[in-house]
Structure 1
Amino acid sequence: MNHDPRFPQMADALNPAVMGPLLSWVLGTPGITPGHVECCIGEKRHKPGKSLVIGYRLNAQSDKVLQSRYVTGRLCPPGAASREFELARSKRPNLAAGALTFLHEPAMLIWAFPYDRKLVHLPTLLDAESIRNRIGAQDLTGGDRVQTVESDVLHYLPERSCMIRYCVSLGGSDEPRLLYAKNYADDSGRDVFAVMQQLSSQFSCGAKALAYDAQTRTLWQSHVPGSTLCWADLQQGDGLVFAERIGCCVAMFHACEIDTAQRFSQDEISEGLLATVRLAEQARPELAERIQGAVADLLASGIDLPEPALATLHHDLKLNNFLVDGDKLGLIDLDCVCLGDPLADLASLIANFYLHGLREGDAIKQVHLLVNQLLSAYRKHSLHPVSLPALRWQVAAALIHEVTRRSLRQMDELRIAHIQSYLALSESYLARSRQPTGAGDALI
């Protein structure tokens, strides 16, 4: 969708050829000659008729050095940019010059990283002297004196979070130490820290929390060895081995016991399904009827689901949250950990398999093989029984309320191109959930 009546300038805002020179001029980025600046569009969050936030990255070549800058654009209704600019400035009167600007055409507010509308402490966390003192004050190095600190932004979600890696040189040590800081827009990191502390003694293959700094809303974590798992790993000859390891890892995580008020319920899945219908009606009307029919069938069948088990859920199971370290597999990004139905968590991961497989052009039968291997390993190691009809229903639902809805919200054309396939898979899984099963049946 490149049209929203509230934001008629939307197509220009999503066009790198339009935005690259404009943003380069606003920020004073060197090398604004066409071809010298590459404008890349990253995270997009669209609520039709309400808001659109776009993350840009500008890559500029200057004196043979590649410079990259993040910029966040928040669209305004035409003619409202200057008014919204004044309102934003009134809320942050101490902003540095150039941190926040606005464009009349296309109408939007521009936040220049490290300044962010909600991540107000990012400048402090990226100032070398400030962060050196904070690391020392938090005693994150076991009492060793911090000499120098170098920072590297790993993942930035505008107005939500930023993960920063620090390479810390210590007095008396030749080996630098790696520390990680995740900065949040709110105080949710405090709860994440409490959960990670509980998990540390039960789940050895995960990130370890060191401290929570309430003043800057920052969660400090230790280094986790390994490389990010990607779909290419599962496409190789040992892809089934990786699928088996993933199943074992998830079963181990679900076996952990935590005390938290955070819950993920069936009602939230139902609401996510209905929200997908509403979003499709606004963003992709040509898909709305089919999605509405699929959701109606799911909700009608959902009343017959068995009573779920209660387990510790990761609640953000996707390939890039697994780390591979030799024959070990670990889990990171524990922000969403909660209690709920383990089959919903497992179904989310299975839906993510199909997302990657379809996007990479794999035959659907090949993805089925990986999914069945994943489930086989999970069932061998899980403390919780697996109802195949219930899991099939959850996979059918996840393909809509997670994969389809996120594809539409993020306006990801590569994913949107496969929505009909996601829906066909969802319908197939729902049909199979209604069939009687034997003890040895595969999931699909």
Structure 2
Amino acid sequence: MSIQSPYIAGKPGPNPAVSPAWTSTPYYRALNEVPDTPAMGEFLADQVISPECLHDFRLTWIKVKPGKSVRLLYRAQGADFPGQQYFFHARTASPETGPAQAEALQARCFTPEHRHLFGKARRAAVYASPWHLLIQVFPADPGLPGLPRVVHSREVAKMLSSVIPECDGACAQVEADVVQYKPRRQCLIRYTLTTASVTESGECRKIFYGKLSPRALPVYTRLRQLHRVWSGGIFRFPEPAAFFPEPGLMLCREIPGVHLSLLPGEARFSELCARIGRGLGEFHRSPVRFVPRKDAAAELEALNYWGERFLRWFPEEAPRLRRLMEGIRIHFTRYTSPIFAPVHGDFHVANILVDGERLGLLDLEDGYMGNPAADVGFFYAQLKLLSLKVYRSPEALNEALQAFLEAYLTPAPRDVRAMVPGYCALYCLWCAYFQCFLRPTKSGWWERGQFMLQICEDIIARGTV
């Protein structure tokens, strides 16, 4: 098999993006086990679903463990109604166990009660023997056994009617739209609720977001604690509305706004980033308390874990990667003062919502008590990556980045300021690995990864950002 899909793309343009040295790495060789996307589409059209339901069929996500397994996520647009989506999750399974696993999933998920949730798919699972892949059709997912229930409109209407005051005991209609799906990990769903009550302007419509995840309960508990102690400020947080132990669904009220990642072209983008810096400082100084606690030693332990995989799967870059990892370790061990403040843990441009002058902050499931410079470094790396994605230049958003840093660092304690360069370098390396080199479905992935490595090198060489 060779990678001919247009969705596994390198640097745009006529010149090859990926150097010959990289094409010989274990990870890149493992990518050659990925089926050709049109061939996979033909297989699904023959075995699972009508061809008209595979419009814009594409490979959107890859997770490869060289020599062990491949996991793939395909997505297609259906033909029954606007916005209809189909997801197909494929993972390595042996010829001895794969067919039996497919039949077991078929019997468990493709029941008369839930068959309509699969649209025009004829099966919930199938074994693709040409590639030794077990293919699951959404919402069949052994890692998220409650998934069929939370996308079932009638089931969701019953759940909402029992806990949402606006329902007054009854829902007229619930529309469930999948916003994000990560196989075996989580599913984010937007619920548009039409209540039985009628206002002067017509039907009463409310929007809630549900997250199905094995980690949903701790996140729900964390949000409730946050709302009890948060006295207001620049950021607003999702308001938890309910938790359903079975199927494991957390429900939150909608926060209006546009993702920051969509606004880099706005004239006020630098002003927004300065406001975000001030808001992040407020959050770090708040009385919020998370579990667990992470110190510098824990950060370095995590770096060692994923850094070793980086070295093993991309050995051609090993000398360079070892220098970068050692530079980060030296910086971290130079500043050993323990600092424990609330850390968001995923301070991503897509987790910040902008609604006029109001800002919303989403997705606190990775929060912990630790050095707040971690959030600063993560946002720094994410803005650099956004600059590369939108403008193909790491400097295009430097004005906004400096506005953020100045707004945050000016009132920050000296010990926090001292750790910011180390965390910026750490997360530039992290982004190169997790968000570039491990995501070859994104056009320009190799080019961006190389830029992020260079930014990491520059920070370590200068000792500042």
Matching residue within 60, 66, 87 for 1:70 = 87
What amino acid maps onto 1:96 in structure 2?
F
What amino acid maps onto 1:72 in structure 2?
H
1:215 corresponds to 2:233: no
What amino acid maps onto 1:176 in structure 2?
R
The corresponding residue for 2:4 is none
Matching residue within 246, 265, 271 for 2:295 = 265
Q: Does the CA-based 8 Å contact 1:39-1:57 persist in structure 2?
A: yes
How far has the Cα of 1:409 moved from its partner? 3.0
* Residues in 1 aligned to 2:279 and 2:73: alpha-carbon distance in whole angstroms: 33
The 1:426–1:117 alpha-carbon spacing in structure 2 relative to 1, beyond 3 Å, is same
The corresponding residue for 1:395 is 424
* Residues in 2 aligned to 1:17 and 1:105: alpha-carbon distance in whole angstroms: 14
How far has the Cα of 1:14 moved from its partner? 5.0
Higher RCO (CA-CA < 8 Å; seq separation 6+): 2
Q: Does the CA-based 8 Å contact 1:247-1:375 persist in structure 2?
A: yes
The 1:342–1:170 alpha-carbon spacing in structure 2 relative to 1, beyond 3 Å, is same
* Residues in 2 aligned to 1:163 and 1:82: alpha-carbon distance in whole angstroms: 34
* Residues in 1 aligned to 2:35 and 2:241: alpha-carbon distance in whole angstroms: 39
1:40 corresponds to 2:58: yes
Secondary structure (helix, strand or coil) at the match of 1:329 reads strand
TM normalised by structure 1 equals 0.86
Matching residue within 205, 212, 221 for 1:176 = 205
The 1:65–1:364 alpha-carbon spacing in structure 2 relative to 1, beyond 3 Å, is closer
The corresponding residue for 2:37 is 16
Matching residue within 174, 179, 187 for 1:154 = 179
The corresponding residue for 1:31 is 52
How many pairs align? 424
Q: Once the two structures are superposed, what CA deviation does each residue of 1:322-369 show, in whole Å capped at 9, x if it has no partner?
A: 001011111011221221110012101111111111233354444333
Secondary structure (helix, strand or coil) at the match of 1:115 reads coil
Q: Once structures 1 and 2 are overlaid, which stretch shifts more, 335-344 or 280-289?
A: 280-289
The corresponding residue for 2:219 is 192
* Residues in 1 aligned to 2:399 and 2:82: alpha-carbon distance in whole angstroms: 46
* Residues in 1 aligned to 2:224 and 2:73: alpha-carbon distance in whole angstroms: 32
The corresponding residue for 2:279 is 249
The 1:282–1:208 alpha-carbon spacing in structure 2 relative to 1, beyond 3 Å, is same
The corresponding residue for 1:438 is none
* Residues in 1 aligned to 2:51 and 2:165: alpha-carbon distance in whole angstroms: 38
* Residues in 2 aligned to 1:6 and 1:364: alpha-carbon distance in whole angstroms: 26
1:84-233 matched pairs, under 5 angstroms: 84-87=98-101, 94-96=108-110, 98-139=123-164, 141=166, 143-173=168-198, 174-184=203-213, 186=214, 188-201=215-228, 202=230, 204=232, 205-230=236-261, 233=263
Matching residue within 316, 322, 331 for 2:352 = 322
The 1:263–1:40 alpha-carbon spacing in structure 2 relative to 1, beyond 3 Å, is farther
What amino acid maps onto 1:13 in structure 2?
V
Secondary structure (helix, strand or coil) at the match of 1:235 reads coil
* Residues in 2 aligned to 1:60 and 1:165: alpha-carbon distance in whole angstroms: 18
Q: Does the CA-based 8 Å contact 2:189-2:210 persist in structure 1?
A: yes
Q: Does the CA-based 8 Å contact 1:322-1:329 persist in structure 2?
A: yes
RMSD over aligned CA atoms reads 2.8
How far has the Cα of 1:253 moved from its partner? 2.0
What amino acid maps onto 1:182 in structure 2?
K
Secondary structure (helix, strand or coil) at the match of 2:67 reads coil
How far has the Cα of 1:264 moved from its partner? 3.2
Q: Does the CA-based 8 Å contact 1:309-1:341 persist in structure 2?
A: yes
How far has the Cα of 1:22 moved from its partner? 1.5
How far has the Cα of 1:26 moved from its partner? 2.4
How far has the Cα of 1:106 moved from its partner? 1.5
The corresponding residue for 2:399 is 369
Q: Does the CA-based 8 Å contact 2:26-2:314 persist in structure 1?
A: no
* Residues in 1 aligned to 2:425 and 2:30: alpha-carbon distance in whole angstroms: 36
Q: Does the CA-based 8 Å contact 1:140-1:210 persist in structure 2?
A: no
What amino acid maps onto 1:227 in structure 2?
V
* Residues in 2 aligned to 1:99 and 1:362: alpha-carbon distance in whole angstroms: 41
How far has the Cα of 1:375 moved from its partner? 1.2
* Residues in 1 aligned to 2:165 and 2:317: alpha-carbon distance in whole angstroms: 51
The corresponding residue for 1:309 is 339
Secondary structure (helix, strand or coil) at the match of 1:171 reads strand
* Residues in 2 aligned to 1:336 and 1:385: alpha-carbon distance in whole angstroms: 25
* Residues in 2 aligned to 1:341 and 1:209: alpha-carbon distance in whole angstroms: 26
How far has the Cα of 1:315 moved from its partner? 0.5
Q: Does the CA-based 8 Å contact 2:30-2:67 persist in structure 1?
A: no
How far has the Cα of 1:300 moved from its partner? 3.0
Q: Does the CA-based 8 Å contact 1:396-1:427 persist in structure 2?
A: yes
What amino acid maps onto 1:177 in structure 2?
K
Q: Does the CA-based 8 Å contact 1:343-1:390 persist in structure 2?
A: yes
Q: Once the two structures are superposed, what CA deviation does each residue of 1:380-420 show, in whole Å capped at 9, x if it has no partner?
A: 465x4454442111111111134434423333562332222
